[in-house]
Structure 1
Amino acid sequence: MAQIYLLMLLICVSLTSCGSTVAPTATVVPSATSVSQAEVTATVAPTLEPTTAPIVTITAPITLSEGFAQPEGMLHNQLSDLYLVSNINGTPFGRDDNGYISQINPDGTLKQAKWIDGATAEVELNAPKGMAIANDTLYVSDLDSVRLFDAVSGEVKGTIAISGSSFLNDVVARDDGTVFVSDMGINEAFGSTGTAAIYQIDPAGNVSLAVKLANGNPNGLAITADGRLLVCRYDTTEEIFELTADGTLQTYRKASASQHDGLVVLADQSLLVSVWRTGNIHQLMADGSESIMYYGTTGAPADINVDHQRGVVLMPLIMTNQVALWPLAN
């Protein structure tokens, strides 16, 4: 069952392909736990202040159906007050350089389908998935690398190669500028590459291994109010884990079903987790109770996120090439 999501995704890709070809399986480079700042070709941009534009309130769900191709991740960019969407646009394993990032206005209208586009000469973007913003920089996972862009202009700022990784997925940033990225450790045949891990990138661009997994497929990442890293896994476990100070994963909370994808911490410290076994988004309360926040009709949303200002859940509906903006109060 742990292969259902990727199998469904590849079936969906074959039906909706934009003509791209499947690239060879990514080669796993020799393992290393540190990447020097010299490998990051970016310069640090001046600090930008979040936009002060009026807050638009969404009171009913909005679904957008045009401009997306295998949307895998979403993010609220607070600097520009726009919603970002990562589009794989082909196989999630392919080095086809046709992935792209879309922008959506908070009122639910499409601003720009291809704001950052791998098809352009200056951008390399193969199969983008998770995204996070730290120090005015947009971090995007892409197979075995993390791409860096200016969070407002979209200008290319560099690439951080994660040596020893094979299928980087979610990305999350802590307030201190530390970025974490998960490696599911799977190949195109759905087998294990033996690379399942979580990496940490410091503000200077140096990479270190946060935790190596002997089994399981780490996927969604989230940060608690006090800065702890939470991890969900796309395998048979029903648990949400916390990365402890000694570099181990311990149980933090539990859902009623497995095959987890996106993970979000809400203001009340409840968790939202997208669950492929049920196709729904489950809300896990601190007292151990659980409810269904969203019922999926064509599989669960992938790497969900939240606009905390408006109380809107951002849902990439990867199986139908749509995205949804879903008010928490709905």
Structure 2
Amino acid sequence: MEFILRLAVLILLALAASGARAQEAPPFAVGDSLGVPGADGFEAVSSNVTVYGAIVNAESCSYDAERGLIAVVNRGVPQAVQANDAWVSLVRSDGSVHTARWIGVQRPDQRADLPPPLVLNDPLGSEIAGGVLTVADRDGGAGPDDPSMAVVRRFDARTGAPLGETRIAESPWINDVAVADDGTVYATQTGDLGPDPDPATFRVYRIAPDGEVSVVVEGAPLNLPNGIALDPEGRLVVANFGDDAVLTFSTSGDLVETRRAAQPGSDGLVIRPDGTTYVSSVTQGGVSRLRPGEAATLIARGIPGGASMCYDAGADQLVVPMVSNNGLAFVSLDTPDAARH
């Protein structure tokens, strides 16, 4: 009788363990590196094949130091054409494609059924920090009767799985993001883009780790604020699109310093550990270098639509998405200034 009771207990434990495994959520589905389905499973592209492309309307990129790859956030088609159409590509330092569609390999109509569901509508700025890919996105805006709302979305930088989101109810859209060591996110609201923009729409938001949203800076000297980054001292640096100002603020919003890029129309912003700052102009195509205590120097020219760039530590270069040109520009930092004719 004792043997029968023990056997019954073992069977019940095995059934319970089997049920627990069945209830475990499957891993989030992301795209494979380049290749095709083969007779023995997935067959990767052979080593003598190099593929370029996979970039569509990209506004930003982030360097994944763990994998040595560049995560490029593609906007896809506009919201008014198809919502939830964006995706993330993985690109090598030489510009070749590692994974054409990593996050967002599914069609928009399939994404709601994923565990967890995927939403990536109209992503602009992005940053990988602390193992998390943080993206400036928005919901709505598909038409005149569909209000737009800014959303900060987070993804696991290793698995691609959505980790959560924070909605900024009072903001229709945000442009770029910077992430502090404690997970605090700072985001620029570029604001009105018309001929007579309202300065009250020029803002920098803080999203605390607990999700609390607050305004850090509003109005002048912000002038269509675009790129944002944290300097080595943990201060906020904001590049204006509306002029050539590169502004440094304390995290409480006090203006500390004003510098000038070599060109106006700033978008991308990269700051190195020694304080050297690089600024891309989306309107005039140059990349400015601002060393501490020095005036700006133009180190690259003629990059069409140069948007929110990132620093590729593996190759010591800047990677500049070219928005509607559907490509990436690579600016080496270990060669003489390329701006000289």
TM-score higher than 0.5? yes
Q: How does 1:65-76 map to 2 (within 5 A)?
A: 66-76=53-63
CA offsets, 1:71-100, max 9 Å, x none? 100110223332111111233787721111
Higher helix proportion, which one?
A: 2
Alignment of 1:86-235 (within 5 A): 86-91=73-78, 96-117=83-104, 119=108, 120-121=110-111, 122-143=117-138, 144-186=150-192, 192=197, 194-213=200-219, 216-235=223-242
Partners of 1:179 and 1:79 in 2: how far apart? 21
Relative to 1, partners in 2 of residues 1:321 and 1:221: Cα closer, same or farther, differing over 3 Å? same
Residues 92 and 98, structure 2, Cα contact 8 Å, conserved in 1: yes
1:16-67: per-residue Cα shift (whole Å, max 9, x none)?
xxxxxxxxxxxxxxxxxxxxxxxxxxxxxxxxxxxxxxxxxxxxxxxx8511
In 2: Cα distance, 1:226 partner to 1:248 partner = 14
What is the root-mean-square deviation in Å for CA atoms of aligned residues?
Answer: 2.6
- From 269, 276, 279, the counterpart of 1:270: 276
Q: Encode CA deviations 1:276-297: one digit per residue, 9 max, x unaligned.
A: 3421111122232322222124
TM-score (ref. length: structure 2): 0.70
TM-score, structure 1 normalization: 0.73
Alpha-carbon distance in structure 2 between the residues aligned to 1:175 and 1:190:
38
Deviation at 1:250, TM superposition (A): 4.6
Read off the aligned partner of 1:223 and give its amino acid letter. L
Asked if residue 307 in structure 1 is aligned to residue 312 in structure 2, the reply is yes
Aligned-partner Cα distance in 2 for 1:270–1:223: 12
Match of 2:334 in 1: 329
- 1:92-129 alpha-carbon deviations (Å, 9 max, x no partner): 78772111111113343211122112724121111111
C-alpha change, 1:115 and 1:209, in structure 2 (3 Å) is same
Partner residue of 1:283 out of 282, 289, 299: 289
Counterpart in 2 of 1:32? none
Counterpart Cα distance in 1 of 2:237 and 2:82: 29
Task: Give a deviation string over 1:128-148, Cα, whole Å, max 9, x none.
Answer: 111123432211111310111
Q: Which has the higher contact order (CA 8 A, sep 6+)?
A: 1
Distance 1:209-1:150 versus aligned 2 partners, 3 A rule = same
Any unmatched runs of 5+ in structure 2?
1-50, 112-116, 139-149, 336-341
Q: CA deviation at 1:230?
A: 0.2
For residues 326 and 178 of structure 2, the distance between their equivalents in structure 1, rounded to whole angstroms, comes to: 23
After the TM superposition, which of the residue ranges 143-152 and 87-96 deviates more from structure 2? 87-96
Provide the residue aligned with 2:28 in structure 1.
Answer: none
Partner amino acid, structure 2, of 1:291: T
Deviation (angstroms), 1:191: 7.1
1:310 deviates by 3.3
> Structure 1 residues 160 and 286, CA, compared in 2 at 3 Å: closer, same or farther?
same
CA contact (8 A) 2:216 2:251 kept: no
* Contact 2:63–2:128, Cα closer than 8 Å, also in 1: no
- Secondary structure in 2 aligned to 1:168? coil
Secondary structure at 1:112 match in 2: strand
- Which of 317, 321, 326 is 2:322 aligned to? 317
Once residues 297 and 106 of structure 1 are traced to their aligned partners in structure 2, the CA distance between those partners, rounded to angstroms, is: 18
Go from structure 1 to structure 2 and tell me whether the alpha carbon gap of 1:127 and 1:191 turns closer, same or farther (over 3 Å shift).
Answer: farther
SS at match of 1:181: strand
Number of equivalenced pairs: 265
Evaluate the alpha carbon distance shift between residue 94 and residue 291 of structure 1 in structure 2; reply closer, same or farther with a 3 A threshold: farther
Would the aligned equivalents of 1:281 and 1:294 in 2 still touch at CA under 8 Å? yes
Query: 1: distance between equivalents of 2:313 and 2:228?
Result: 17
Q: 2:80 and 2:250 mapped to 1: Cα distance?
A: 31
Q: Is contact 1:164-1:195 (8 Å) kept? A: no
Identity %: 28
Alignment map for 1:28-47 (pairs within 5 Å) = none
Distance 1:271 1:92, change over 3 A: farther
Maintained 8 Å contact 2:303/2:322: no
When residues 325 and 297 of structure 1 are mapped into structure 2, their CA distance, relative to the original with a 3 A threshold, is closer
Provide the residue aligned with 1:243 in structure 2: 249
Q: Which residue of 1 aligns with 2:302?
A: 296
* Aligned-residue offset at 1:192: 4.4
